[in-house]
């Protein structure tokens, strides 16, 4: 449609009087996939919130040369990144992988038989 008003002062916000009447019904269909029969609802809308906040933090620090902060974006990581930026010791995100990938790679480098032997030696 075409805008009818040019500012928010003249913009009409619909109220309950303008809504059509409708009926609601409660239906219950428990899922067999968990003991409670509970289903998730509405979580899909939260998927974009974490990257949006992360991008906002990166944008706020971009004037310092910051291009990446590992998730989760904790206050400690933000302050550490600011200190590194001021000291000129920012890590290059395209050369040094995030911490989680370094840990995953270290775990993957151990062959299965070695990992099983190490676990047995540790009494696990």
pLDDT at residue 119 greater than cutoff 60: no
pLDDT band of 13, cuts 50, 70, 90:
confident
* Distance separating alpha carbons of residues 31 and 92, to the nearest angstrom: 47
pLDDT band of 118, cuts 50, 70, 90:
low
pLDDT in tens, 17-68: 888 888 888 888 888 988 988 887 766 667 788 889 999 999 999 999 999 9
Contact 110, 118 (CB under 8 A): yes
Query: pLDDT exceeding 90 applies to what percent of the chain?
Result: 27
Q: Where are the domains of the chain?
A: 44-103
**Contacts by 121-124, CB closer than 8 A, 24 or more apart:** none
Mean predicted confidence (pLDDT) in 80-105: 81
* Distance separating alpha carbons of residues 54 and 71, to the nearest angstrom: 8
């Amino acid at each position: 449609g075409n805008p009818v008003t040019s500012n928010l002062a003249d913009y009409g916000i619909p109220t309950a009087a303008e809504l059509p009447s409708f009926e609601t019904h409660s239906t219950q269909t428990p899922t067999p996939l968990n003991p409670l029969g509970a289903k998730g609802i509405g979580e899909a809308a939260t998927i974009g919130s974490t990257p949006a906040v992360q991008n906002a933090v990166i944008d706020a620090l971009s004037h310092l040369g910051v291009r990446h902060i590992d998730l989760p974006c904790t206050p400690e990581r933000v302050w550490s990144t600011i200190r590194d930026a001021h000291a000129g010791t920012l890590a290059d995100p395209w050369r040094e992988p995030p911490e989680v990938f370094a840990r995953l790679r270290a775990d993957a480098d151990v062959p299965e038989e070695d990992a099983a032997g190490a676990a047995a030696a540790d009494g696990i």
